[in-house]
C-alpha cells in the first residue's frame, strides 16, 4: 500500500484512508486487480464521462432552509433498499424504487403538507405516519430503525441547534470536515465505523454523502459551499462494489463470491463486509490518483457519482450486490 502522508491528502481523506490500511494489507476475502483498474482508468480517459448533475426532478428543492432540512432527513434515512419483494412508489404516474423512491416519497410528503423538516415533528413522529409517508408497493425495510433515527434527529436538532438543520450547517463554517465531525459526534446514527482485527476503520458513508448532496443541490453555493469539499472519499455502499466487481477491479475469494452470488446475508461489521467496503474506497482512491497526474482531476465524490450512475445500468447488475442489513448504507 502506498504511503498516505506523501500523497498530499488532506486531513479527513487521510484519516479515513489511513484507517483502511490494516484491512487492505490483511484482507483474505477481497483484493484489487491492478490490470482491471488500469483498463478502467484508460476507459475514463477515452470517454471523459460527464459528472452527473443534481436531479431536481426527484429531490425537493426550493433554495431555502427547507431544502437543507429535507436533505438532512433524506440522508439520515439513506440506507438499505433491497427488500424482497422490492419496495416501490408511484408518484405522478411514474414508478420509483430504491434511493429515488426515498427521495420522491419525502418530496411527496412535503407537497402534502407533512412537516418532515420540523424538529418537533421528527422527534415525535409515529410509526403509522412514517408508514404513510413511505406508502407504496412492498415495504421499506428497517422502518422501525428509521423511526428511531428520525426521533434522534429531531431531538438533537432541538437540544443543540435550536430545531434548525441549517444551524448545523452554519456551525461548520463552510468546512466539510467540521460538518462531518459534528454529524458523527452529535448523531450516533451517522457514526459509520467498524472494528477489523482490533483496528478501528472509518467509513462515514452517510455523513459524507450529506455534504456532497448539499454541494450538489445548492451548486456549491450558500449551504453547499465547502472550501474543503475535495477531502471527501467515495461513499461505500452496495452499488459501487457491485460496479467495481463487474469491472473486474474488485476480486472476491471463491467462498465470498459464492455467498454474494447466492444472496446470502453478509453480516454488518464482519471481516468480509468491512473488506468489501474498504477495498471499494481504496480502489477509487487509486483510480483518482492515477487520473490526476494525466490531466483528469476528478474529486472522489465526483467519481462516486459517475460509478453510482453506471450502477443503474443493467450491464452492471449482472452480478448481485452483497446483502448486509445495516443503517449505514
What are the residue numbers of the active site? 237
* Pairing between β-strand 30-32 and β-strand 88-91 as defined by DSSP bridges: unpaired
Q: What is the DSSP letter of 265?
A: B
Q: How far apart are CA 134 and CA 139, in angstroms?
A: 8
Indicate the angle between helix axes 11-26 and 176-186, nearest 10 degrees: 60
Q: Are 83 and 143 in contact (CB under 8 A)?
A: no
Count of residues for the chain? Answer: 329
- Mind giving me the DSSP string for 276-305? HHHHHHHHHHHHHHHHGGGT----HHHHHH
Cell of 56: 431536481
Q: Dihedrals φ, ψ of 213, to 5°?
A: -70, -40
Residue 195 Cα to chain centre, angstroms = 19
Amino acid at each position: 500500500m502506498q504511503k498516505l502522508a506523501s500523497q498530499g491528502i488532506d486531513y479527513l481523506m487521510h484519516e479515513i484512508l489511513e484507517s483502511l490500511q490494516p484491512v487492505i494489507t490483511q484482507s483474505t476475502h477481497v483484493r484489487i486487480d491492478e490490470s482491471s483498474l488500469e483498463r478502467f482508468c484508460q476507459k475514463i480517459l477515452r470517454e471523459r464521462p460527464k459528472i452527473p448533475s443534481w436531479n431536481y426532478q426527484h429531490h425537493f428543492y426550493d433554495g431555502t432552509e427547507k431544502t437543507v432540512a429535507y436533505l438532512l432527513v433524506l440522508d439520515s434515512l439513506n440506507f438499505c433498499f433491497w427488500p424482497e419483494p422490492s419496495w416501490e412508489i408511484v408518484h405522478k404516474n411514474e414508478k420509483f424504487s430504491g434511493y429515488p423512491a426515498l427521495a420522491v416519497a419525502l418530496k411527496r410528503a412535503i407537497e402534502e403538507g407533512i412537516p418532515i423538516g420540523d424538529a418537533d415533528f421528527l422527534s415525535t413522529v409515529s410509526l403509522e405516519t412514517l408508514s404513510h409517508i413511505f406508502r407504496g408497493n412492498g415495504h421499506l425495510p428497517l422502518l422501525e430503525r428509521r423511526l428511531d433515527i428520525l426521533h434522534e434527529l429531531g431531538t438533537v436538532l432541538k437540544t443543540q441547534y435550536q430545531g434548525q438543520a441549517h444551524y448545523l450547517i452554519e456551525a461548520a463554517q463552510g468546512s466539510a470536515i467540521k460538518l462531518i465531525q459534528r454529524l458523527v459526534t452529535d448523531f450516533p446514527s451517522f457514526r459509520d465505523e467498524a472494528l477489523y482485527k482490533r483496528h478501528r476503520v472509518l467509513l462515514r458513508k452517510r455523513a459524507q454523502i450529506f455534504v456532497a448532496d448539499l454541494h450538489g443541490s445548492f451548486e456549491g453555493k450558500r449551504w453547499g459551499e465547502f472550501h474543503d469539499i475535495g477531502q471527501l472519499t467515495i461513499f461505500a455502499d452496495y452499488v459501487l462494489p457491485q460496479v467495481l466487481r463487474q469491472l473486474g477491479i474488485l476480486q472476491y475469494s471463491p467462498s465470498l463470491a459464492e455467498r454474494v452470488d447466492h444472496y446470502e446475508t453478509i453480516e454488518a461489521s464482519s471481516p468480509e463486509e468491512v473488506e468489501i467496503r474498504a477495498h471499494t474506497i481504496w480502489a477509487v482512491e487509486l483510480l483518482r490518483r492515477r487520473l490526476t497526474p494525466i490531466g483528469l482531476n476528478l474529486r472522489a465524490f465526483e467519481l462516486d457519482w459517475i460509478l453510482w450512475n453506471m450502477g443503474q445500468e443493467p450491464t452492471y447488475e449482472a452480478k448481485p450486490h452483497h446483502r448486509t442489513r445495516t443503517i449505514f448504507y
